[in-house]
Structure 1
Amino acid sequence: MVRDFAETGLPPGWEVRTSKSKGLPYYFNTSSMESRWDSPEGTDPEKLKVFMASYHSSKAESTAQGGGGDAIRAAHLLVKHEGSRRPSSWREAKITRTKDEAMEIIQEHERKIKAGETSLAELAATESDCSSARKGGDLGFFKKGDMQREFEDAAFALQPGEISGVVETASGLHLIERLNA
């Protein structure tokens, strides 16, 4: 089903598709055959946010069937900044916020979660700069060596149901929740 800019916020020729290998949404240009994880230049982030929340979101349901061995399952909420490894996301084609501004945003998310106003999964679905947002931030199962060192150190230190404080990686600032298997 082709959707136009008024609904998706994507520039002409771009559409949202789902990766067969990862089960995550990505952006595909039907003219140039270019595909990318981050939204293309010219995207209306507010329209895309509403579209993705409506059509590409689930409440932290993972299709992974068990992790086995030393694997754990976690979800996260990512706030990128201009110094992030890839300063763009499904929400914004070009992220220009400073690291300090990103820190303020993620600390407010952390406050809301810890106050019981919302869950990490609910916030991640609309506010995370990671494409895992469509799964409520659920990254599925992973083992040591699969993620950035700072991220996995924090995730493996958590008990199931526990949420980390702010964790900084080359990708940006994260809140991580260790999920039950």
Structure 2
Amino acid sequence: MSAWEVRLSSSKGLPYFFNTETKQSSWDPPPNLSEEQVRQLPGAKEYLGKPPPVKPSQVRASHLLVKHRGSRRPSSWKEENITRTKEEAIEILRGYQAQIDGSPAKFAELASLHSDCSSHSNGGDLGWFGRGQMQKPFEDAAYGLEVGKISDVISSDSGVHLVLRTG
């Protein structure tokens, strides 16, 4: 009996092959199985042969957040009590924007050092998310960008952000 099964990738929405004994995974069918054996694997009927989704239901983005005293939670990993005004936060973010100058690498570097979000430890990466999972202004910005592009200053209940669409 084969230890292989077909599963669905939560990040890509595509089927993949997983060996329950070795924990090995692969996008390609196991080479030692015939086409008929692959069709008999657990999960094959549910996940193989379905067309991929027409439009992306999820996007991936990073952000650099600067909170201000009007933010929903005016504290962060670097500052217990944030007292700056929204205008001061925007001014700080504009300075970062000038340094980034469209560079995703510089964006990640500055997000790691300066973002008021816990995602700073991942260069600002928030991972994949769908509609309704983020605050509306942030969601609209992320979905409205092309992959690799950076937004202008976005304001949400969390503070002011620059958003980089990564997927």
Identify the TM-score tier after normalising by the shorter chain: 0.5 to 0.7
* Superposed CA offset, 1:146-169 (max 9, x none): 000000000000000000000000
Equivalent residue, structure 2, for 1:84: 71
Deviating more after overlay: 149-158 vs 116-125: 116-125
Deviation at 1:66, TM superposition (A): 2.2
- Structure 2 residue 115 is the aligned partner of structure 1 residue 151: no
Alignment RMSD, CA only?
A: 1.9
Aligned counterpart in structure 1 of residue 88 of structure 2, from 90, 93, 101: 101
Equivalent residue, structure 2, for 1:164: 151
* TM-score normalised by length of structure 1: 0.61
The code of the aligned residue for 1:120 comes to F
Structure 2 unaligned runs (5+)?
1-8, 14-55
Deviation at 1:119, TM superposition (A): 1.4
Distance 2:68 2:78 in 1: 13
Aligned counterpart in structure 1 of residue 11 of structure 2, from 66, 71, 79: 66
Runs of 4+ in 1 over 4 A off after TM superposition: 115-118
Deviation at 1:117, TM superposition (A): 10
Aligned residues: 117
Deviation at 1:100, TM superposition (A): 1.1
Equivalent residue, structure 1, for 2:112: 125
Distance 1:139 1:83 in 2: 23
Equivalent residue, structure 2, for 1:50: none
Deviating more after overlay: 107-116 vs 152-161: 107-116
Distance 2:126 2:134 in 1: 10
Q: 1:162 to 1:145 in 2, by over 3 A?
A: same
Distance 1:139 1:131 in 2: 10
Equivalent residue, structure 1, for 2:53: none
What secondary structure sits across from 2:150 in the alignment?
coil
CA contact (8 A) 1:162 1:178 kept: yes
Aligned counterpart in structure 1 of residue 121 of structure 2, from 134, 153, 172: 134
* Superposed CA offset, 1:19-66 (max 9, x none): xxxxxxxxxxxxxxxxxxxxxxxxxxxxxxxxxxxxxxxxxxxxx962
CA contact (8 A) 2:60 2:165 kept: yes
CA contact (8 A) 1:67 1:73 kept: no
The code of the aligned residue for 2:130 comes to K
